Amino acid sequence: MPTKLVILDRDGVINYDSDHFIKTPDEWKPIPGSLEAIARLNQAGYRVVLATNQSGVGRGLFDMAMLNAIHDKMHKLLGQHGGRIDALFYCPHAADSKCACRKPSPGMFEEIAKRFNMGLEGVPAIGDSLRDLQAAAAMGAQPILVKTGKGEKTLAAGGLPENTPVFDDLAAAVKHLLSQAS
Ligand SMILES: [Mg+2]
Ligand SMILES: [Zn+2]
């Protein structure tokens, strides 16, 4: 059976976003229903992969030990809901670093394809910012916008990749995904 993947952005999709960055575990607060939604994906046989820009590291706002502590909290809370994230990719570079991994560049998506040894054509990729959708579209993945986080602003600004469905939040997007025959 082929591997079923879903790629998620983190801030504004799983947890509440902040214009001041998520710098500590305390600041990482799950959006209601998001952890349950990930668990539901797992139960349906999906592997869930994170691809997240974390330029706060490159800007010196928090270090790798802190990023790991934040992710420890995420994994722990997720585990309490019976969910798991199979792989976590992050770009720690500052916005002006011109690295290959910061979305909208597709570097993290290329890494995901390599890690799972598969193409990403049609793989659902859920984000709240245009750059999430652009990175997904560049790899032939299926971009999906949620209105949480920066999603409302992203939707209002327009210019989404063609055929980008829009959902209220991760729970609604997952509910739709799982309602489709597969
Ligand atoms: Mg985001
Ligand atoms: Zn990077």
Domain coordinates of the chain in residue numbers?
4-181
Residue 93 marked ligand-binding: yes
**Confidence (pLDDT) at 9:** 98
Q: Give per-residue pLDDT as tens, 144-177.
A: 999 999 999 999 999 999 999 999 999 999 999 9
- Ligand 1 center to 74 CA (angstroms): 15
Half-sphere exposure of 117 (CA within 13 A, CB side): 1
Q: Tell me what the mean pLDDT of segment 45-74 comes to.
A: 97
Q: Give per-residue pLDDT as tens, 92-145.
A: 999 999 999 999 999 999 999 999 999 999 999 999 999 999 999 999 999 999
Instruction: Name residue 4's amino acid.
Output: K
**Confidence (pLDDT) at 74:** 98
The answer for residues whose C-beta is within 8 angstroms of residue 136's C-beta and 6 or more apart is 7, 109, 120, 123, 125, 127, 142, 143, 161
Three-state SS at 81: coil
DSSP codes of every residue in 94-158: -TTS--SSSTTS-HHHHHHHHHHTS--TT-EEEESSHHHHHHHHHTT-EEEEESTTTHHHHHHH-
- Ligand 2 center to 92 CA (angstroms): 6
- Ligand 2 center to 55 CA (angstroms): 8
List residues bridging with 6 in a β-sheet. 48
**Confidence (pLDDT) at 2:** 77
- Would you say residue 1 has pLDDT above 90? no
Asked if residues 167 and 149 have their Cβ atoms less than 8 Å apart, the reply is: no
Domain 4-181 listed as CATH 1.10.3720.10: no
Share of the chain above pLDDT 90, in %: 97
What is the distance between the terminal CA atoms of the chain, rounded to a whole angstrom? Answer: 12
Which residues are part of the catalytic machinery?
Answer: 9, 11
What integer best gives the mean pLDDT of the chain?
96
Residue 169 marked ligand-binding: no
**Confidence (pLDDT) at 96:** 92
- Ligand 2 center to 62 CA (angstroms): 16
Residue 26 marked ligand-binding: no
Task: Pick the ligand that lies closest to the CA of residue 99.
Answer: 2
pTM over 0.85: yes
